[in-house]
């Protein structure tokens, strides 16, 4: 049911919709605009062509089945007995609402009555039910003849009962036959098959021959003749084998198509659309090449992906480990270090701050991933892009197509996405910072520092004072010990002891400081394995989205390619 106008319109609309989606990618904006313009013109011209539907006139006596025949052509009921002629000499015109009335019609010349419908199968066909012979008075004859002049096809309808009617042939003789656009239909042949099929066929053959003879006698030597039963409820597909209605219908639609093709040719529309299609054909070739490039790039990506993720995992783990260590180390009010260790920590902390002055303070920082990590992702994403662009360049694909791919793979947007996602992820993780208890560690520090202190006290008490205390512990020996401490403290020996004590404290403070760091690093790195998973997933998703994007793009262009290629080859 795809008639030439419909096909042309569909093609033009499809071209416009391709343009809407940015095709052809290989053309610049100006050239694309040009095509849109051309296609618009084609559609516009088509509009005016469509005002010129195939005009069919049906001539016949009352009750031969003209209305039934029209319904059969339309495939649904457009004509009914309720469509009474206002006057018996009126023409009834069945017209689709989208098609304008016949341009030549002058009501004062040929009185007519229009019935509009919206049955699309016969949109481009104007069915004109002419006044019955029985009622065409001699003075109207001229008008009807003039009306027929404008029609593309004239269908002479008669029926089994009426094909002998002299008025039919009399009228036939009076019509000029120069245009050879006559067609004869003998209706109600089902009445021949009421009894026996064999006998029916014999009757049919005789009847047709007889009708043909009548026509010959009236100057029609080789009539285009169809013997039908218009009322067969299964008109088109499963009608009786002798029923030529399907052939008749096919002929009528062919005439419509021929007229459409002719007017398309006259208006040069086919050539215009063809030149557009040849642009699309080139595009199709480019897109096919591009699809191949994408295919190879995707394969390449699949193999590189594992290595990328390993790199990513390494980078992420390092970052997270650092981030966690520093978070655990610098969490306020929960230092595991006491005394000298704490002092060493403060000392080194100050050093670090001095060295890195100007850098973010850890507590207040927003945990953005480090530049090196971002750069790593950027390198990976750009590797995909570069790989594809390099393949495209090798095949000398046009510049606009390269730009299209580049903007499709928008690397910087993906980098931003990832950066944001990682930052968010870390922020969430920070809320669930573990609080390791360093109670044992603190206890050891307490014990050691206390022991040192006691040792120090013991050392500076002096042998005599201690012996005094041990032999008789009373207030005098205690006072003796105190005096001995003070005495020693201000002597050279005492100073040496104090120095040793301080050095030991510092040494162990440093050891604890180091050991604390190692413990924290261990806790951090133990947690990292688990925590890095989510981030790695984000990373992988972002890479997967490049793959998906490319795959979607490839599928999309594949579907367009078949349209573009299909068109050109079918046009040739
Ligand atoms: N048996 C038979 N009757 C038909 C056939 N076609 C039409 N008729 C009948 O003939 C009568 C006239 O049909 P209609 O289409 O109104 O004829 P019109 O006056 O030429 O428009 C109606 O009663 C139809 O049912 C047919 O193929 N076979
Ligand atoms: Mg009728």
What is the distance in A from the centroid of ligand 1 to the CA of 74?
16
Residues with CB under 5 A from ligand 2 (ion): 66-67
What is the distance in A from the centroid of ligand 1 to the CA of 121?
22
Ligand 1 pocket test, candidate residues 57, 59, 61, 63, most atoms within 8 A of CB: 63
Taking the CA of residue 84 as centre, how many other CA atoms within 13 Å lie in the half-sphere pointing to its CB?
3
What is the CB neighbour count within 10 angstroms for residue 448?
Answer: 18
3-state secondary structure 235-276: CCCCCCCCCCHHHHHHHHHHHHHHHHHHHHHHCCHHHHHHHH
Take residue 450 and report the two structure tokens written for it: 């206390």
pLDDT of residue 366: 58
- pLDDT band, very low/low/confident/very high, at 367 (cuts 50, 70, 90): confident
Q: Which ligand is nearest to the CA of 65?
A: 1
Residues 314 and 356 in one domain: yes
Closest protein CA for atom 28 of ligand 1: 188
Q: Residue 155 pairs with which residues in a beta bridge?
A: 58, 183
Residues 296 and 169 in one domain: no
pLDDT of residue 201: 96
Q: For residue 494, is it within any domain?
A: yes
Q: Is the Cα dihedral 250, 101, 120, 61 positive or negative?
A: negative
Residues 296 and 200 in one domain: no
- For the cut 90, the answer to whether the pLDDT of residue 204 exceeds it is yes
Ligand 1 atom showing the smallest separation from residue 230 Cα = 27
Round to whole Å and give the CA distance between 234 and 223.
26
Phi/psi for 470 (5° steps) reads -70, -35
Residues 164 and 226 in one domain: yes
Q: For residue 17, is it within any domain?
A: no
pLDDT of residue 564: 82
Take residue 327 and report the two structure tokens written for it: 């978070």
Round to whole Å and give the CA distance between 392 and 301.
16
Q: Report the domain count for the chain.
A: 2
Is the CB–ligand 1 distance for residue 39 below 6 Å? no
Q: For residue 3, is it within any domain?
A: no
Lowest mean pLDDT among 47-51, 56-60, 95-99, 419-423: 47-51
pLDDT of residue 235: 52
Residues 253 and 151 in one domain: yes
Helix 4-20 / helix 492-571 crossing angle, nearest 10 deg:
160
Contact 464, 426 (CB under 8 A): no
What is the distance in A from the centroid of ligand 2 to the CA of 62?
7
Is the CB–ligand 1 distance for residue 63 below 6 Å? yes
Residues 232 and 293 in one domain: no
Residues 382 and 242 in one domain: no
Is the CB–ligand 1 distance for residue 65 below 6 Å? yes
Residues 296 and 202 in one domain: no
Round to whole Å and give the CA distance between 128 and 112.
9
Helix (H), strand (E) at residue 426: helix 411-431
Residues 329 and 441 in one domain: yes
Over residues 231-279, the pLDDT tens digits come to 875 555 677 899 999 999 999 999 999 999 999 888 888 888 888 888 8
- pLDDT band, very low/low/confident/very high, at 472 (cuts 50, 70, 90): confident
Is the CB–ligand 1 distance for residue 68 below 6 Å? yes
Residues 307 and 431 in one domain: yes
CATH code of 144's domain: 3.40.50.300
Is the CB–ligand 1 distance for residue 60 below 6 Å? yes
Closest protein CA for atom 25 of ligand 1: 231
Q: For residue 179, is it within any domain?
A: yes
Round to whole Å and give the CA distance between 132 and 62.
5
Q: Give the end of a domain, one of 260, 295, 315.
A: 260
Ligand 1 atom showing the smallest separation from residue 61 Cα = 20
Contacts of 430 (CB under 8 A, 6+ apart): 327, 367
- Span 130-157, mean pLDDT? 84
pLDDT of residue 231: 87
Phi/psi for 226 (5° steps) reads -125, 125
Closest protein CA for atom 23 of ligand 1: 63
Is the CB–ligand 1 distance for residue 64 below 6 Å? yes
- Span 540-567, mean pLDDT? 87
Q: For residue 7, is it within any domain?
A: no
Is the CB–ligand 1 distance for residue 66 below 6 Å? yes
Higher pLDDT, 5 or 237: 5
Closest protein CA for atom 1 of ligand 1: 188
Is the CB–ligand 1 distance for residue 71 below 6 Å? no
Buried b (16+ CB within 10 A) or exposed e, 515-528: bbbeebbeebeebb
| CA gyration radius, the chain | 50
Residues 433 and 389 in one domain: yes
pLDDT of residue 361: 47
pLDDT of residue 146: 82
pLDDT of residue 227: 96
Closest protein CA for atom 24 of ligand 1: 65
3-state secondary structure 435-499: CCCCHHHHHHHHHHHHHHHHHHHHHHHCHHHHHHHHHCCCHHHHHHHHHHHHHHHCCHHHHHHHH
Over residues 221-240, the pLDDT tens digits come to 899 999 999 987 555 567 78
Contacts of 383 (CB under 8 A, 6+ apart): 304
Q: Which ligand is nearest to the CA of 58?
A: 1
Which burial class, exposed, middle or buried, applies to 286 when counting CB atoms under 10 A from its CB (0-12, 13-18, 19+)?
buried
Q: For residue 92, is it within any domain?
A: yes
Higher pLDDT, 512 or 139: 512
Is the CB–ligand 1 distance for residue 62 below 6 Å? yes
What is the distance in A from the centroid of ligand 1 to the CA of 63?
6
Residues 110 and 236 in one domain: yes
Contact 293, 391 (CB under 8 A): yes
Q: Residue 226 pairs with which residues in a beta bridge?
A: 185
Q: For residue 172, is it within any domain?
A: yes
Closest protein CA for atom 12 of ligand 1: 63
pLDDT of residue 498: 86
What is the distance in A from the centroid of ligand 1 to the CA of 137?
23
Closest protein CA for atom 26 of ligand 1: 188
Distances (CA, A) of 221 to 158, 214, 252: 18, 10, 21
Closest protein CA for atom 9 of ligand 1: 65
Ligand 1 pocket test, candidate residues 58, 62, 68, most atoms within 8 A of CB: 68
What is the distance in A from the centroid of ligand 2 to the CA of 358?
98
Q: Is 176 left (phi over 0), alpha (psi -120 to 50) or beta?
A: beta
Is the CB–ligand 1 distance for residue 190 below 6 Å? yes
Is the CB–ligand 1 distance for residue 131 below 6 Å? no
Which burial class, exposed, middle or buried, applies to 80 when counting CB atoms under 10 A from its CB (0-12, 13-18, 19+)?
exposed
- For the cut 60, the answer to whether the pLDDT of residue 187 exceeds it is yes
Is the CB–ligand 1 distance for residue 243 below 6 Å? no
pLDDT of residue 233: 56
Higher pLDDT, 149 or 156: 156
What is the distance in A from the centroid of ligand 2 to the CA of 520?
100
Q: What residues make up the domain containing 101?
A: 53-260
Q: Give the end of a domain, one of 260, 287, 306.
A: 260
Q: For residue 270, is it within any domain?
A: no
Highest mean pLDDT among 93-102, 150-159, 263-272, 334-343: 150-159
- For the cut 60, the answer to whether the pLDDT of residue 520 exceeds it is yes
- For the cut 70, the answer to whether the pLDDT of residue 536 exceeds it is yes
Round to whole Å and give the CA distance between 13 and 253.
24
């Amino acid at each position: 049911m795809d008639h030439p106008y419909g096909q042309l319109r569909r093609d033009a609309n499809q071209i416009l919709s391709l343009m809407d989606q940015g095709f052809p990618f290989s053309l610049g904006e100006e050239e694309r605009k040009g095509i849109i313009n051309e296609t618009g013109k084609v559609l516009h011209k088509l509009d005016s062509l469509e005002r010129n539907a195939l005009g069919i006139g049906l001539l016949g006596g009352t009750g031969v089945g003209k209305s039934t025949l029209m319904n059969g052509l339309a495939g649904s009921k457009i004509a009914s007995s309720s469509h009474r002629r206002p006057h018996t000499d009126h023409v009834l015109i069945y017209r689709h609402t989208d098609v304008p009335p016949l341009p030549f019609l002058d009501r004062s010349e040929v009185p007519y009555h229009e019935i509009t419908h919206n049955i699309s199968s016969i949109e481009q066909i104007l069915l004109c039910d002419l006044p019955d012979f029985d009622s065409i008075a001699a003075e109207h004859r001229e008008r009807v003849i003039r009306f027929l002049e404008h029609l593309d096809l004239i269908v002479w309808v008669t029926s089994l009962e009426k094909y002998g009617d002299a008025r039919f042939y009399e009228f036939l003789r009076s019509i000029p036959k120069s245009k050879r656009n006559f067609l004869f239909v003998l209706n109600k042949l089902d009445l021949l098959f009421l009894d026996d099929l064999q006998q029916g066929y014999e009757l049919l053959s005789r009847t047709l021959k007889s009708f043909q003879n009548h026509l010959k006698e009236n100057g029609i030597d080789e009539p285009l003749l169809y013997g039908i039963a218009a009322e067969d409820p299964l008109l088109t597909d499963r009608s009786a084998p002798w029923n030529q209605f399907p052939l008749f219908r096919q002929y009528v639609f062919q005439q419509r198509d021929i007229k459409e093709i002719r007017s398309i040719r006259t208006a040069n529309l086919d050539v215009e659309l063809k030149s557009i299609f040849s642009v699309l054909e080139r595009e199709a070739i480019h897109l096919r090449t591009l699809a191949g490039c994408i295919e190879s790039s995707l394969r390449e990506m699949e193999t590189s992906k594992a290595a990328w993720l390993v790199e990513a995992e390494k980078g992420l783990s390092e970052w997270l480990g650092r981030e966690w260590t520093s978070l655990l180390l610098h969490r306020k009010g929960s230092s595991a270090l006491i005394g000298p260790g704490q002092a060493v920590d403060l000392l080194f902390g100050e050093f670090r701050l001095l060295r890195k002055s100007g850098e973010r303070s850890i507590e207040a920082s927003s945990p953005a991933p480090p530049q090196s990590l971002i750069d790593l992702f950027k390198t990976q994403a750009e590797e995909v892009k570069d790989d594809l662009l390099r393949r495209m360049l090798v095949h000398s694909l046009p510049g606009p197509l390269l730009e299209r791919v580049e903007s499709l793979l928008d690397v910087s947007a993906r980098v931003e996405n990832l950066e944001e996602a990682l930052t968010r992820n870390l922020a969430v993780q920070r809320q669930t910072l573990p609080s390791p208890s360093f109670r044992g560690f603190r206890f050891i520090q307490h014990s050691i520092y206390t022991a040192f202190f006691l040792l120090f006290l013991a050392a500076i008490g002096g042998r005599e004072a201690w012996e005094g205390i041990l032999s008789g512990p009373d207030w005098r020996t205690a006072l003796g010990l105190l005096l001995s401490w003070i005495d020693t403290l201000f002597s050279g020996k005492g100073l040496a002891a104090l120095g040793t004590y301080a050095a030991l404290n510092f040494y162990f403070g440093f050891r604890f400081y180091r050991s604390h760091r190692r413990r924290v690093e261990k806790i951090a790195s133990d947690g990292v394995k688990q925590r890095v998973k989510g981030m790695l997933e984000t990373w992988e998703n972002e890479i997967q989205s490049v793959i998906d994007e490319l795959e979607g793009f490839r599928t999309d262009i594949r579907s367009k390619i078949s349209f573009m290629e299909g068109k050109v080859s079918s046009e040739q």
